[in-house]
Amino acid sequence: MIPIRDTIPSKNYPVVNTTLIGVNICIFLIQMSSSHSLGIGLDRFIYTYGLVPARFSVPYISSHFTLSQQLFSLISYMFLHGGFMHIAGNMWFLHIFGDNVEDRLGSFYYLVFYLLCGLTSGLFHLFLNYHSTVPTIGASGAIAGVMGAYFILYPHSKILTLIPIIIIPWFVEIPAVFFLGFWFVIQLFNAAFSNAMSGGIAWWAHVGGFVFGIMSLKFFNVLPKTGIVGILKAAAFKKKTTPRFQVLKSSNLRSQDRNLYKEISITPYEAAAGAKKTINIAWGFYNRFYNVTIPAGTRDGMVLRLKGIGKQMPNGYQGDLLLKIRIQQPW
């Protein structure tokens, strides 16, 4: 299952979440070029800035590091990644779930929350693998905390998920409680019934981050929103657009009607300025993608006719798609 997006758009532009993604990507590029530009090997780079439990438990190893280096590794490890697929997967999950959690906590508290989730998940892994010499890297522990918070904050949300069936892409909306609950069970199962770092994955760090994300929410929800925190939240940029990719809901399936009838939601800003959307139409085994241009000055209730996108009738005639425009705020 590959998550595409959630169905609850955030109200504000996720400044911190986007910055975290950017910082992770920049550090990954530095990490990959470390053997050339910094004159040190990649393994040494990871061992220096990654989280290695033995650095804290084995005196001979810990003697090679200063106290500041030891403490810094508890934070720096969560910004390193083992390869392109590792960082791509982590950043995609952060992109999907992080914006909504930032929306609820506010940018400043979200940053604190994210770092604490990463720190806690790292400590959880460290104490359960106290003498391991294998470096642990990656933002997955912190992101697991974000997912735990999303699990509690948005129980009625749904996750648009891609399920590949051979070569046919099938999109389905799965309740967030089920999607994230299933993800957590998989992490817990792997942590309990496999080696500590089976496949190079710190399963207990995921479990610890997810649990901490849930448990710490009550504390963050009672923190005051005054001072600089309130100013930052009030100054947050409001989102002006709906998602570029949309799966359209079920249409009129009358057997004698060759046309398809669907609705698409856009914001007042998109209605005034125009927008481009990619739509997925699913009707039985009919599953196609189309690019749609919403003209500037569109009014609520306007219907766009897209010729030749309807049902194929036995007599060979192809129907049209009648796309009704709904103008609403994205929250």
Sign of CA dihedral 196, 87, 79, 34: positive
**DSSP letter assigned to residue 146:** H
CA distances from 150 to 94, 99, 177, 239, 252 (A): 11, 10, 9, 19, 34
Distance CA 121, CA 110 (A): 16
Q: Identify the pLDDT of residue 42.
A: 76
Q: Identify the pLDDT of residue 271.
A: 86
Distance CA 150, CA 134 (A): 30
**Cα separation of the two ends of the chain:** 26
Sign of CA dihedral 259, 263, 264, 267: positive
Q: What CATH architecture does domain 2-234 belong to?
A: Up-down Bundle (1.20)
State which fold the 245-327 domain adopts: HSP40/DNAj peptide-binding domain (2.60.260)
| Residue ranges per structural domain of the chain | 2-234, 245-327
- Tokens standing for residue 300: 């609520």
Q: Cβ(326)–Cβ(272) under 8 Å?
A: no
> pTM of the full predicted structure?
0.79
- Tokens standing for residue 268: 């007042």
Distance CA 210, CA 142 (A): 8
Q: Identify the pLDDT of residue 78.
A: 95
Q: Identify the pLDDT of residue 38.
A: 55
**DSSP letter assigned to residue 12:** B
Residues 6+ apart with CB under 8 A from 137: 46, 50, 51, 77, 78, 80, 81, 82
Sign of CA dihedral 183, 124, 32, 29: positive
Q: Cβ(324)–Cβ(263) under 8 Å?
A: yes
Length of the chain in terms of residues written = 331
SS3 98: helix
Q: Residue 150: phi, psi to the nearest 5?
A: -60, -40
Distance CA 134, CA 125 (A): 11
Task: Please list the pLDDT of the chain residue by residue as tens digits (331 residues).
Answer: 788 888 888 888 888 999 999 999 999 998 888 655 555 577 788 888 999 998 998 888 888 888 888 999 999 999 999 889 999 999 999 999 999 999 888 888 999 999 999 999 999 999 988 888 888 999 999 999 999 999 999 988 999 888 877 667 778 889 999 999 999 999 999 888 876 555 567 888 999 999 999 999 888 876 666 555 555 555 556 667 778 877 776 555 555 677 878 888 888 888 888 888 888 776 655 567 788 888 888 888 888 888 877 776 667 677 788 888 888 765 5
CA distances from 178 to 5, 182, 278, 290 (A): 15, 6, 27, 30
Q: Cβ(232)–Cβ(102) under 8 Å?
A: no
Q: Identify the pLDDT of residue 195.
A: 65
How many Å separate Cα 58 from the centre of its chain?
37
Q: Enumerate the β-bridge partners of residue 313.
A: none
